[in-house]
Amino acid sequence: MARHCREVTRREGTAQTPMTPAGRSQVTSSRYADLSQSKGETDAMRTCYSPSRRRVLAFSAGLAATAWLPGSPALAEEKTGPPSRLIARPIPHSGESLPSVGLGTSQVFEVGDDPARRKACAEVIRTLVAGGGKLIDTAPSYGTAESVVGDLLAAAELRGRAFLATKLEEYDRNTGAAELRASLQRLRSDRVDLMQVHNVNDSKQDLAMLREWKSQGLCRYIGITTSFGGDFDAVEAVLRREKPDFLQVNYSLADRAAEKRVIPTATEVGAAVLTDLPFARNRLFGAVRGRPLPEWPSDFDATSWAQFFLKYLLGNEAVTAVIPGTSNSEHMADNLGAGRGRVPDAAQRRKMVAFFEALH
């Protein structure tokens, strides 16, 4: 049975009145005082935007503004696009390419009917798509996130440009079909690209019901997720026996256990890997509070702390895509930057680990 636990991503506490990049360059101690009270990863933790990055963000914002219009040439990658294409990696079981930076929606898209907050989420989605991304991960347990994603994709006529992933909370044949139908209704879609059993903690978990849905065309891929290192034994057992198309796992520079255990197993069985909690529930931004980004990350084209943290993950070739959450379009554009240019090699990744560990 899947454990009931919400996947925690960065919560954007100022979505209605976003802080400017310059304002985020110095994070106040009062904002960090909220860190222990919130599971989310807040807007205030984005630091050290370089002038060159501001130009990229301005470009992305302009591109996104035109991309919002259905049929706009901004959505045609051959006509206009980001400064360079996102790294795309193959889904092993099919060979289909998936852009390496996506969007998580836990907490950040749980905005209900609030017009201003929905507008902010809409801007995030159009920035994702205009910037070459497509993966959006959600779940029924994420409050109103499924409905918000479905409404915004439908309004923008962008469903065909999105790779939509959601989750099954209760693996039960008596209720599973109804849960699937409810998700599809909220998402305004007749199928999802990826259906995942949420937070697997039973080594005997099977995926037969999801395989049936896949054969019926209700989902294109199936997978499992975890956000708990204590469940890795069960996750590895299910990976080896069921060989799903995808694994979603908690993995960050601050939480590297997955790269020694479940990610190698996923590679063995040909499962694509998505990383949840890529900023480690605030830990990473908290560790670099008030610190400027060093010069050496420019060797792998990182221009912000968020890109530094995400590029560490993408430097692992077994990782197919990262899915940080945000409801701030500038942060979405910045996250997309992690999927462009060079990624760190093995020696550079060791240096990143040593740098992070020296902060403690």
Spatial separation of the C-alpha atoms in residues 329 and 63, rounded to whole Å: 12
CB-count burial class (<10 Å; 0-12, 13-18, 19+) for 104: buried
Spatial separation of the C-alpha atoms in residues 228 and 250, rounded to whole Å: 7
Q: What is the torsional sign of CA 182, 224, 244, 126?
A: positive
Q: Is residue 274 part of a domain?
A: yes
Q: Strand, helix or coil at 39?
A: coil
Distances (CA, A) of 29 to 45, 161, 358: 11, 40, 21
Spatial separation of the C-alpha atoms in residues 294 and 359, rounded to whole Å: 13
In the numeric block, which tokens belong to residue 140? 């029924």
Q: Is residue 70 part of a domain?
A: no
Instruction: Measure CA of the first residue to CA of the last residue in the chain; give whole Å.
Output: 37
Q: Is residue 15 part of a domain?
A: no
Q: Is residue 248 part of a domain?
A: yes
Which residues span the domain enclosing 302? 88-358
pTM for the model stands at 0.82
Which residues touch 222 (CB under 8 Å, ≥6 apart)? Answer: 194, 195, 196, 207, 210, 211, 213, 214, 244, 245, 246
In the numeric block, which tokens belong to residue 301? 């084209």
Q: Is residue 14 part of a domain?
A: no
The percent of residues above 70 in pLDDT, for the chain, comes to: 77
CATH code, 186: 3.20.20.100
Checking if the pLDDT of 34 tops 70, the result is no
> Any idea which of 61-70, 167-176, 334-343 has the lowest mean pLDDT?
61-70
Q: Is residue 190 part of a domain?
A: yes
Checking if the pLDDT of 53 tops 70, the result is no
Residues 121 and 329: beta-carbon distance below 8 Å: no
Q: Is residue 48 part of a domain?
A: no
Angle (CA) 56 333 126, round 5°: 120
In the numeric block, which tokens belong to residue 155? 């309004």
Residues 139 and 198: beta-carbon distance below 8 Å: yes
pLDDT for res 24: 32
Mean pLDDT score, 62-70 = 42
168: which strand partners? 197
Q: Strand, helix or coil at 104?
A: strand
> Any idea which of 40-44, 157-161, 348-352 has the lowest mean pLDDT?
40-44
For the chain, give the mean pLDDT. Answer: 83
Q: Please, which pLDDT band fits residue 76 given cuts at 50, 70 and 90? A: very low
pLDDT for res 77: 37
* pLDDT tens digits for range 282-330: 899 999 999 999 999 999 999 999 999 999 999 999 999 999 999 999 9
Q: Is residue 314 part of a domain?
A: yes
Spatial separation of the C-alpha atoms in residues 285 and 111, rounded to whole Å: 24
pLDDT for res 360: 75
- Give the number of domains in the chain: 1
Checking if the pLDDT of 110 tops 80, the result is yes
Which residues touch 78 (CB under 8 Å, ≥6 apart)? Answer: none
DSSP 282-327: THHHHHTTTPPPPSGGGGGT--SHHHHHHHHHHTSTT--EE--B-S
Q: Strand, helix or coil at 90?
A: strand
φ, ψ of residue 226 to 5 degrees: the values are -150, 150
Q: Please, which pLDDT band fits residue 46 given cuts at 50, 70 and 90? A: low
DSSP 200-266: B--TT---HHHHHHHHTTSEEEEEEEE--GGGHHHHHHHHHHH--SEEEEE-BTTB-GGGTTHHHHH
pLDDT for res 45: 55
Spatial separation of the C-alpha atoms in residues 225 and 228, rounded to whole Å: 9
The residue among 270 and 72 whose pLDDT is bigger is 270
In the numeric block, which tokens belong to residue 357? 């560990």
Q: What is the dihedral of CA 338, 86, 314, 93, to 10 degrees?
A: 150
Mean pLDDT score, 239-256 = 98
Mean pLDDT score, 161-169 = 98
